[in-house]
Structure 1
Amino acid sequence: MSKNQAIQKLLHKSGLCIRKYSPVALSFVASAGVVVTAIAAAKATPRAVALVYADSRKKHDGDPYAYTKKEAFIAAWKCYIPAVAFGASTIACIMGANALNRRQQAALTSAYALVQSSYKEYKDKLKELYGEEAHNAIVDSIAKEKCKDISISANGGWYDSSLDFGEGMEPEVSRTFYDSFSQRYFESTIEKVIQAEYHLNRNFMFAGVIPLNDFYEFLGLEKTELGDAVGWSSCNGDIYWIDFNHHRLTLDDGMEIYVIDMVFEPTAEWMEDL
């Protein structure tokens, strides 16, 4: 692995770790903030009491205990500025951690629900509707997404790695693809799909973990909220290559749909290995 690749891997994993552990970090800071706030308040109290007594002596003919609540507040409030600042920061951290936890929990809930139902729903639908009915139902409900025209390459240290052979080649035919995991139809070419799968696995081999959205980004598709919550990991030794199955579905009128199946479904457990 080159130096540039090592730096890219480190930056990639650092960003994922920050995103994953932000709620934990905020909770830790909030816990520390509670302790610091209490210490700051305790240290400020003796000084505040002394100021209150001194102010009372000036205003009440030497009596240190004749002060009113308003006079005590005016005399001592400045002593508690650090404690109030620490307390406000602690509250902000608690609220931030709670917001991030809710977002992650919502994404993980959606991830588990989709992982469990996507393949079953897709296969049951094909079995139920295959034939003329299948053609009519798919054509009526199809929503093709046009992929962005992107050139995929990866830094290889001394040169950029790419599967493109340059200009002047005969252009690939645009086809209709179906991603069975996200249940999306899109238009692209076989060449671009193969390139996306290759570069996904290339980065996966270097980093050891990778989110689903990286695959959609290589395809030129819009990222999904689920795509950041699920992914693949090779750390447990079960997966070393993200394999894909492809098959062509030909409808009765001759229309062809190219289906992409993920042999190893992305899961939420990938974040545990960051």
Structure 2
Amino acid sequence: MNKTEIMNKATKAFYKVGYTLKKHSPEILVVAGVVGTVVSAVLACRATTKVSEIMTDTKIDVDAVHKCLETQSEEDYSKEDGKKDLVIIYAKTSFELAKLYAPSVLLGVASITSILASNNILRKRNVALTAAYATLDKCFKEYRGNVVERFGEQVDRELRYAIKAKKFEETVVDEKTGKEKTVKNKVDVVGIDGISDYAKFFDEYNPNWEKDSEYNLMFLRAQQNYANDLLVKRGYLFLNDVYKMLGFEPTRAGQVVGWRHEPEKSDCDGYVSFGIYNANRETARDFVNGYERSILLDFNVDGPILDTLDD
């Protein structure tokens, strides 16, 4: 391995470490701030144990000045001399106290600054994340608008949810002859590609799931109604709010996207749907009919709403 290759590898390693530190800088700053705050408190406690010594020396010096003022004549030790000495004593005491607590105060300020810096970095990242979601959502809506304009709403719906016709055979009884016969039918079903990135499986791994299809349907309907009530009351609702009430872990996307209740605007549904009664999904029909105890929930979020709350 020549010198150039060694330098290139060292450079890459250096930048990789720098990138890792930058990526995790909020966590590092918070940890540093918390640890620094604790150490600052410990240093302050240790400094406090030495305050009595400083105050004792100060009292001795002050008492000596007052004694001189009482016992000596005005010519030997005047009141002005006493005032000057007291100022020097108090200044010295202040300096000693400041020097004693300086490490604790400086470390405490640095710790608070670290925590605030971490919060500032996270705030900027959230702003950037929100802007990215808003851009993607805008482009997607423009694309769907172009599809609707050119091919119609039916084609847009089929493309959006990856709806395909599924053929199946069914045995029926002929009303005229009374004999059984096999007929071919087809039904539109949603493919897995039509599921959004926000979908979640409500199954046995969820703490609110039960081995009772009727209970699960009742629970999801109740939570959906509650979510709609919150949306109307607040005027907005984040996806993470719904995740929490259903028993799912919050996500990064969930703190940005959600629903808006603005009936006067056409760019939002204005209601919350879990996709339970989606007739185009065979699994949803089986769940509602009680044949399945689990279901894939797909939420009709309006898109990024974080920037719209200040409007």
The TM-score bracket by the shorter chain reads: 0.3 to 0.5
Structure 1 length-normalised TM:
0.40
Structure 2 length-normalised TM:
0.37
